[in-house]
Amino acid sequence: MRMFGIDLGERRTGVATCDEREVLASAFAVLQVKGLNDTIKQLVPMIEREKPGKIVVGLPLCTDGTRGEKATRAEAFCDMLRDKVDVEVVLWDERYSTVEAYSLLHEVGRNEKDARKNIDAVAASLILQSYLDASKK
C-alpha cells in the first residue's frame, strides 16, 4: 500500500511517500506552515487526493529516548489528524533524521541553500524508509 511519511516542523513540514510494494520511500512535498492547524489544513486535501493507506509521523524523542515538548506536539498533531482523515496514523522514532538528511544532501553535492529547501521532505523520506525497513524484519 502507498504510505505517507511526515516530518512535522513549526515552519516547514516534509512529506514523503512510498511505492505500492512498500520498498522505497521518496521525498514528496514541503509545506510552508504556521502551526498545527495550518499543517492539518494543508495536509488533508493532499491525503484525500493521494489516498495513502497509512501515515507515519516522526516522533522527535530526546536522545535518551524520553518524550519532550516536540514529542508532545507530534502526539497532539496525530490526534488532530486522526479526527480529520480515515487513515491509520502511527508515530515513529525520528531521532537524527534531520541530521542524516543534511548529511545525505551534502554527499550528493547540495549546497546549504538547496539543502534548506529540501531537508524536511528528505527527513520525511528517512522516517518512512526506517518504518518500511523495520516492518520487513
pLDDT tier for residue 64 given thresholds of 50, 70 and 90:
confident
* pLDDT above 90 coverage of the chain, percent: 72
Question: Is the pTM value of this prediction over 0.75?
Answer: yes
Domain residue spans in the chain? 3-136
> Residue written as cell 502511527?
90
> What tens digit of pLDDT does each residue of 95-115 get?
766 666 657 656 666 555 565
Asked whether residue 16 carries a pLDDT value surpassing 70, the answer given is yes
How far apart (Å, rounded) are the C-alpha atoms in residues 49 and 118?
22
CATH class of 3-136: alpha beta
Using an 8 Å Cβ cutoff, are 88 and 131 in contact? no
Average pLDDT, the chain: 89
Which amino acid belongs to residue 4?
Answer: F
